[in-house]
Amino acid sequence: MPRTSGSISADGGQRRASYQRVRSRETKRSLVAAAMALWRTNGYAQTTVADICRAAGVSRALFYFHFPAKEDVLFEVGLASTRAARSTVQQQIRGEYDLEDVILRALRSLERSMARNPRDLIVETILEGYRHEQRILTGDEDAHADADMFGDLFAKAQADGKLASDVDVAHLSRLAQMHVSEGVRHWAMGGFGGRSFADVVSADIGALISGFDTRSRNT
């Protein structure tokens, strides 16, 4: 049966929309990459939106289409690191897994990502994360599912009997993420000395999990 002009037009519209989405994602990635390169070289405070636009080869209008402000690029950088760690978690729980070992592997992934950036930039990223969290709590902004590093892990661990059935896994995940954020900040400020970020924070989260699990199983 021949295709009608209407179906051809619809297909063309879908292809254009798909192409535009791809271009939009590429532009956003280009802006983030340009910003990171400038921040590593010139520092965060000294880099302007105009600098980022010139480096990415886009207009200021296009920048503001993707990001309300320079700080939102910083938040996107933090989300990218969290997504990578979350991806590590999801890969590890596809087969047999040890709960604390998965956490350690995810945090090592995050530590490798952090090691590529200046420490003052890492501190700024964490502070921007706190500002976004405040806006979420006041209802000014929606929560980002990508920011939940351990939710999938704790839910699966509970389903697999590695956590007690009445542990509030959502609350546990939020507390674990707080340990990560504060751990990143202290690590970036030199608070851990020569100790590994991943080793310190995974041990802290392990103690947190043990406390939740023990309390639930004993009640």
pLDDT in tens, 29-65: 999 999 999 999 999 989 999 999 999 999 999 999 9
Q: What is the CATH number of domain 69-219?
A: 1.10.357.10
Which pTM does this prediction carry?
A: 0.80
Domain residue ranges of the chain, discontinuous segments joined by +: 1-67, 69-219
- Over 70: is that where the pLDDT of 10 sits? no
Tell me which of 3 and 129 has the higher pLDDT.
129
4-18, 139-153, 194-208: which has the highest mean pLDDT? 194-208
Q: Residue 186 and residue 188: Cα distance in Å, rounded? A: 5
pLDDT given for residue 8 in this prediction: 53
Q: What is the CATH number of domain 1-67?
A: 1.10.10.60
Residue indicated by tokens 């709960």: 99
- Over 90: is that where the pLDDT of 145 sits? no
Q: Residue 101 and residue 119: Cα distance in Å, rounded? A: 26
- Over 80: is that where the pLDDT of 5 sits? no
Q: Residue 198 and residue 103: Cα distance in Å, rounded? A: 9
Q: Residue 169 and residue 212: Cα distance in Å, rounded? A: 9
Q: What's CA 58's distance to the chain center, in Å?
A: 25
pLDDT given for residue 109 in this prediction: 92
pLDDT given for residue 143 in this prediction: 60
13-17, 23-27, 195-199: which has the highest mean pLDDT? 195-199
pLDDT given for residue 128 in this prediction: 85
pLDDT given for residue 127 in this prediction: 86
70-74, 206-210, 214-218: which has the highest mean pLDDT? 206-210
Q: Name residues whose C-beta falls within 8 Å of residue 66's C-beta, 6 or more positions apart in sequence.
A: 24, 27, 28, 31
- Over 50: is that where the pLDDT of 19 sits? no
pLDDT given for residue 12 in this prediction: 56
pLDDT given for residue 24 in this prediction: 78
176-193 pLDDT, tens digit per residue, is 999 999 999 999 999 999
Query: 10 Å Cβ neighbour count for 218?
Result: 7
Q: Residue 100 and residue 156: Cα distance in Å, rounded? A: 13
pLDDT given for residue 16 in this prediction: 54
pLDDT given for residue 205 in this prediction: 97
- Stretch 157-161: mean pLDDT, rounded? 96
In order of 77, 80, 117, 150, the CA distances from 86 in angstroms are 14, 10, 19, 7
